[in-house]
Structure 1
Amino acid sequence: MNGGLVGRPVSRVDGRAKVTGAARYPADDPVPGALHGFLVTSAVARGEVVGIDTSEALAHPGVVAVYTHLDLPRLTVPPFPYCKGFIPLQGTAVHHAGQPVAIVLAATVEQAQEAANLVRVDYRAEPPTASIDDATEPPHMPRPFRDRPNEITRGDAAEALVAAEVRLEVRYSSPTRHHNPIEPHATTAQWDGDRLTVHETAQGVNLTRSVLAVAFGLPPERIRVLAPFLGGGFGAKGPVWSHTILTVAAARLAGRPVRLVLSRAQMFTLTGHRAEFRQHLRIGATRQGKLTALVETTTAQLTRTEESIFNESDSTSTLYDCPNVHIRQEGVPLDIATSSYMRSPETTAHFGLETALDELSWELGVDPVELRRRNHTAVNQETGAMIRGKHLLDCYRIASEAFGWSRRAPRPGATKDGDEYVGWGMATEAHTFAAAPANPPVTASVTVGADGRAVLRIATQDIGTGTYTVISQVAADALGMPLDAVTAVIGDSALPFASVSAGSATIASVTGPVDKAARSARDAVVALAVADQRSPLAGVPADEVVTGHGHLFHVRDRARRDSYRAVLGRHGGPVEATGSLPNAPGHSYGAVFLEVRVHARLGSVRVTRVATAHDMGRVMNRRTARGQVLGGVTWGIGHALMEHTVYDRHTARVVNPNLSTYLVPVCADTPAVESHFVDRPDPGSTALGARGFGETPITGVPAAIGNAVYHATGRRVRDLPITRDKLL
């Protein structure tokens, strides 16, 4: 065998292509004759377009066409994963600032952008509402989204709360936040008769194909979507957005390919965000810290054209042992763009729960880690079934020992170093990973050629998480080949089916099919060898043949060996095999411990030390897994201390739609992170013992930072982000 590539910290197989520029992203693919598109977006947030003058834009050099609601054909509004309740340029109604009202096509992107500034639009404007605090309608509970209820009841939480020995009532809030992947959203659409090819920044090539099929009334098999590389996704590129549909429609009208790349500012109004959020938590407990009641009401921003809650309360429902729970998720409609999933969508609600437990620990005089241990559960709180392979208690032990938690100062504000107060905080981390759809099943194919090399094909995506590398490791191990003998081909809807790279579902859903396909291909080659009189393995029972380093060996006589290349060379052609396996949803867990320093006079907060431990089942690649931890910690720092989309409350326009005023963490903001993994295979996994993990490492970081700030200063900040004005 290969000595086990799976689990090792293998370098990314796509790394060289990315750093040398050989990797082609969707906006890089050359399409002969392509026009460049640019969107004209609404200057008002609520109202109606009453007139558009495109004459000056049409006269601009290089401009080929300007399309408005008067030109586009009537399209069908697709269901999820199209998140907006309408398609722009289908009528005159304006639902939010930045909504497309026209699309300009020109020979160059500069000409298109210049011409877009020349389109004159007249509006009938109405006063918009941009904040939950200004909402003109009371919060209401929308219909279930994707069969997920917005109200969950277990036991009698109201009665248990009244009877509780200790009660805690707290409110938390967080602002709107936006995805800001380094690669902007881009679409290139090319029609060939009634067949459509789309190069798309998509976390799901097959989901994109299904949305376009509905919108344009096409059979899905006539549409091909390609996304071989992505410059980050974070949920923003999971749903399909209106600019994609408009680009495809414009290409059809123009009779030429069209490429459209969103500006950074347009990404703040056209591609989703984490909704503004309010959380009201009431907790009942015994004096020993055992939870007896959890009552949570959350309020999130909705729009007037769709009603979907994306900020989920999974943690409150499932994370701790509590017999009496009542969760109610509400929303209020506002005149801003559609929200959507944003990496670790439960993080907003998780922040409140993990902060409230810290507050309860101080109220009771119980160590925060011990409080969580006392409420640990090995039972699924929603189904009553035992949770197999859960090692959260190990995460508490490993991370706390690595961090040195036992040396924590006993009271807030007790530790000062020069001008800075020093505080320590911790939180549990948890995330639900999704299952791929059962129909069609996720399928991989593996072809071994006469050159002794293997090609793995599956229509999954790599959004920067290391999918190329991990599936190559799995295939190489199953085949018994060197890693560089396997080529993974992904990001193409023409390949065997895979689902969206979201919900931390990718490794959980694709690893099993890849392993099964590779093992089937290996078995087929072994069968050829033992049946071939020219092979040194002729007549050997197939179950006595092992593979490694591109060769086939007799298990007891290593001198009897053949190679993939020799076997298939004699066979005269390649061998191909496929594999399909379902996967079930589940949870990954962890614990994060960190240190902050708060400047006594300036109120500035620095995160200076982090230790984590995670239970993700079997670790497939320690290097890519650690990368997910580093990314999660960095994202959590941004969530807790910086990120905040600001709306003008009078115009409902985004005030900071760029990276100079929408602040995100940089290297100087991110400390060294000590990451540990339990690394025990999940017995229920169909992914070689692995579980979905990518979004887990952000979930506890914001609460841990807030808890550490309290330990440092005695000031409890419940309204994110934790900015200087809240600490001075």
Structure 2
Amino acid sequence: MDEAYVPEPGLKGPNDITRGDPGAGLAQADVRIDVSYTTPMHHHNALEPSATTAVWDDGKLTVYETAQGINATKATLAEALEVPPADVRVISRFLGGGFGAKGPVWPHTLITAAIARELGRPVKLVLSRAHTYTSHGHRPETHQRLRIGAKRDGTLTAIEHVTTSQVSRTEDLLFNTSEPTRMLYACPNLRVTQRAVQLDLPAPSMMRSPEVVASHGLETALDELSYELGMDPIELRLRNYTADNPDADGAPFGSKHLKECYRRGADAFGWNKRDPRPRSMRDGDTLIGWGMATAAHTAGGRPGAGARVVISAEGKATVQVATHDIGTGTYTVMSQVAAQSLGLDLAHVRFELGDSNYPFAFVSAASATVPGVGAAVNRACTAARRTLIDITVADPRSPLHGIPADRVTVEDGTLYDTDRRARRDTVRAVVARHGEPVEATTEPVFIPPGYSTGACFAEVRIDPGLGQVRVTRMHGFFDAGRVFNRRTLRSQGIGGAVWAVGFTLSEHTLVDRRLGRIVNPNLSGYLVPVNADIPEVHMGFVDKPDPANPDSLGARGFGETPMTGMTAAIGNAVYHATGRRIRDLPITQDKIIEAAEDQ
């Protein structure tokens, strides 16, 4: 810690930000807390390890890669191997999980391609599970200190939040970003500092929900503050609610329905039945705890995507984007967007992805796929529909000939006059008479910044003698903008809840401090949650379009949001059950037993 330093500005701008006068704000406070939290190194553990197959043909390279960033992979391969980008193709149509490690290019990809060129024959490399702990990044070990001041009525007067992260000797990019502290609540005096400590360990990298580290610290500290104030944790957050973005000079968010999330989430969970006194809720000898926290995650603010659509003489459409389905439902959701924008039946739309020969898309990361790729698909399909209508009304053979184009709409593969619905034509007939497919291609457009929020609630049951913690209920209610597909969105919420259980209660990469080696590079020693650890997870959504994202039909990125609140909700529930605050994650059995012995 004595070697910590503030790195140069990185992915999210400066690493030391001050608003107002934090020192004066703390002096004005009636109540102050000064707390520290630590989190260990975490690893991704996707079901499918990273794998590469490289094939050279006449100086051109094709790589089949477990990638969530095929265009980044293509660009890096071209530069490293000194090959024109046009001579590199990356294909990744299906992916067995991607949580950040498969976004950037790591040495195993470059080595495989280089060896294949040297040998003159295809080469395949699949990382073992142990290799994945050293070969493609991790979430770094962190230390956080928060000093928060508030008036007796709960109004925040100051926040100081210093996060220190492990980095390698050669890279000091910080991925555990601090937007929750900077953006979520109204606080006039703020200082957020992100520091690095260089260690002889592999480089950290992107890992799903990078804001969870800062969010866990902030939301746990606010829970501690609520007890100091004798105030309900939801009420404390409501008293510091802001509809404007403090990190953007007070500009309003596109939309923010967080208050509704608090209300509806609390109602669904039954929060009003909670006895606020620690150790007050029991079932025999079992301690019961309820905790809550706010979830918040930035989405957008990234390069967008392009898209290509072709409508055939059979009245069917093929849509292509160089994006990925990392398990989030991209195939399904983008097919839905295309069908709606084109006015075709879903069965007549084919969405193709995972090929760098398709129009560009940003890495599948930062919750950017739905707002970025969805907007691109909508733009391309809307353009193709306009072209289709123009062809129809200009065709003397069509029943819609001569009708103003703005009076023609398309539904279920049929074009009709909105004034006289009996006058109609079919997409199939129009394209067949036209004699060639109808096509449209759009270029990438920058994704506007978005902010998805929500309220998370958790119940735990603890055996104080064994130190065993069971999460028995998890509820989340979220504002993700417009919901395209409730099933895939709920699935993303469940995934975030599962990650939260692991983050809070079990996941911990162990390092031999003498040798710098990871000693549990396997799923028998690195404990991820399994089905038996997870109760039924309840997810609800406001489902109101964000007007700041008209291209993406009002949707925002969401997938990484739930974890940012659920980890603190679980930790806060453990405190409510036991009356002991465990500030060092994971909250393991030995720590619960030690806390019980202290009482």
How would you bin the TM-score normalised by the shorter chain?
A: over 0.9
CA distance in 1, matches of 2:367, 2:214: 18
Q: Name the SS for the 2:452 alignment partner.
A: strand
| 2:265 counterpart of 1:399 | yes
Corresponding position of 1:385: 251
1:1-16 to structure 2, matched below 5 A, reads none
Question: Structure 1: how far apart are the matches of 2:524 and 2:446?
Answer: 44
Q: Deviations over 1:5-50 (max 9, x none)?
A: xxxxxxxxxxxxxxxxxxxxxxxxxxxxxxxxxxxxxxxxxxxxxx
Instruction: Give the Cα separation in 2 of the matches to 1:573 and 1:290.
Output: 65
1:167 corresponds in structure 2 to 32
CA distance in 1: counterparts of 2:414 and 2:130, whole angstroms:
54
Q: Take 1:365 and 1:535, find their aligned partners in 2: how far apart are those partners? A: 73
Residue of structure 2 equivalent to 1:436: 302
Between the aligned partners of 1:436 and 1:257, the Cα distance in structure 2 is 35
Which stretch has the larger CA shift, 553-562 or 352-361? 553-562
DSSP-derived class of the 2:219 partner: helix
Equivalent of residue 412 in structure 1, options 278, 284, 300: 278
The aligned counterpart of 1:110 is none
1:552 partner SS: strand
Partners of 2:9 and 2:302 in 1: CA distance: 20
Q: Are 2:348 and 1:482 equivalent residues in the alignment?
A: no
Displacement, 1:219?
2.3
Q: Are 2:361 and 1:536 aligned?
A: no
Structure 1: state its 5+ residue gaps: 1-131
Specify which of 526, 529, 532 is matched with residue 662 of structure 1: 526
CA contact (8 A) 1:551 1:562 kept: yes
Q: Does structure 1 residue 214 correspond to structure 2 residue 79?
A: yes
Provide, for residues 131-165 of structure 1, a one-character-per-residue CA deviation record: whole Å limited to 9, x for no partner: x6xxxx61111222236211111111122212321
- Aligned counterpart for 1:426 among listed residues 292, 295, 298: 292
Structure 1 residue 565: Cα displacement: 1.2
Q: TM-score, normalised by structure 1?
A: 0.80
Question: What amino acid is aligned across from residue 414 of structure 2 in structure 1?
Answer: H
2:552 to 661, 679, 687: 687
* 1:356-371 to 2 correspondences below 5 Å: 356-371=221-236
1:585 aligned residue (439, 449, 454): 449
Deviation at 1:405, TM superposition (A): 0.4
| Partner-residue secondary structure (3-state), 1:481 | coil
How far apart are the structure 2 equivalents of 1:533 and 1:434? 45
Cα offset for 1:280?
Answer: 0.7
Does the CA-based 8 Å contact 1:430-1:699 persist in structure 2? Answer: yes
Give the secondary-structure state (helix, strand or coil) at the position aligned to 1:700: helix
Within the candidate set 296, 314, 322, 1:451 is matched to 314
Q: Residue 365 of structure 2 aligns to a residue in which SS?
A: coil
Task: Report matched runs for 1:218-233 at 5 Å.
Answer: 218-233=83-98
Report the 3-state secondary structure (helix = DSSP H, G, I; strand = E; otherwise coil) of the residue aligned with 2:245: coil
Question: Structure 2 CA distance, aligned partners of 1:145 and 1:187?
Answer: 29
Residues 394-420 of structure 1: per-residue CA shift (max 9 Å, x gap)? 110010011010110130101111331
- In structure 1, the residue matched to 2:324 is 461
SS at match of 1:727: helix
Q: Distance in 2 between matches of 1:410 and 1:565?
A: 64
Per the alignment, residue 639 of structure 1 pairs with 503
CA contact (8 A) 2:258 2:454 kept: yes
* Partners of 1:435 and 1:509 within 8 A in 2: no
Work out which of the two has the higher radius of gyration on C-alpha atoms and give 1 or 2.
1
Give the Cα separation in 2 of the matches to 1:246 and 1:261: 12
**Amino acid of the residue matched to residue 498 of structure 2?**
T
Aligned to 2:474: 610
Match of 1:697 in 2: 562
Shift of 1:252: 1.2
Counting only pairs closer than 5 Å after superposition, residues 173-322 of structure 1 correspond to structure 2 as 173-322=38-187
Alpha-carbon distance in structure 1 between the residues aligned to 2:357 and 2:276: 60
Aligned to 1:16: none
Deviation of 1:633 (Å): 0.5
Question: In structure 1, the residue corresponding to 2:247 is in which secondary structure?
Answer: coil
TM-superposition CA deviations, 1:100-131 (whole Å, max 9, x none) = xxxxxxxxxxxxxxxxxxxxxxxxxxxxxxxx
Counterpart among 346, 353, 370 of residue 211 in structure 2: 346
Conserved? CA contact 2:410–2:416, under 8 Å: yes
- How far apart in 2 are the matches of 1:152 and 1:636? 28
Question: Partner of 2:516: helix, strand, or coil?
Answer: coil
Query: Runs of 5+ in structure 2 lacking a partner?
Result: 594-599
Whether contact under 8 Å (2:276, 2:576) holds in the other structure is no
How many Å separate the matches in 2 of 1:697 and 1:712?
22
Q: Which residue of 1 aligns with 2:597?
A: none
For residues 197 and 218 of structure 1, the distance between their equivalents in structure 2, rounded to whole angstroms, comes to: 12
Is 1:330 matched with 2:195?
A: yes
SS of 1:595's partner is strand
Q: List per-residue Cα deviations over 1:600-633 (Å, max 9, x = no partner).
A: 2111111111111101111111111101110000
* Counterpart position of 1:716: 581
CA contact (8 A) 2:12 2:177 kept: no
Corresponding residue number in structure 2 for 1:491: 354
Equivalent residue of 1:476, what SS? helix
Tell me the C-alpha RMSD between the 2 structures. Answer: 1.2
Displacement of 1:428 in angstroms is 0.1
Are 1:549 and 2:415 an aligned pair? Answer: no
- Aligned-pair identity (%): 56
Query: 1:171 corresponds to which letter in structure 2?
Result: S
Structure-to-structure mapping, 1:586-601, within 5 angstroms? 586-601=450-465
Number of aligned residue pairs: give it.
590
User: Separation in 1 of the partners of 2:366 and 2:521?
Assistant: 26
8 Å Cα contact 1:399-1:612 kept in structure 2: yes
| Counterpart residue identity of residue 557, structure 2 | G
- Tell me how far 1:553 sits from its aligned partner: 1.5
Aligned with residue 425 of structure 2, among 549, 558, 562: 562
Return the alpha-carbon distance in structure 2 between the equivalents of residues 193 and 436 of structure 1.
Answer: 36
CA contact (8 A) 1:436 1:442 kept: no
Q: Aligned letter for 2:104? A: P
- 1:60-79 alignment, distance < 5 Å: none
CA distance in 2, matches of 1:399, 1:410: 17
1:518 to 381, 403, 409: 381
- Whole-Å separation in 2 of the counterparts to 1:388 and 1:255: 54
1:372 aligns with 2:215: no
- Whether contact under 8 Å (1:200, 1:227) holds in the other structure is yes
CA distance in 2, matches of 1:154, 1:659: 44
Asked if structure 2 preserves the Cα contact closer than 8 Å seen for 1:320 and 1:377, the reply is yes
Residue 635 of structure 1 and its aligned partner are, at CA, apart by: 0.6
Q: Distance in 2 between matches of 1:610 and 1:253?
A: 53
Q: Is the 8 A contact 1:419 1:601 kept in 2?
A: no
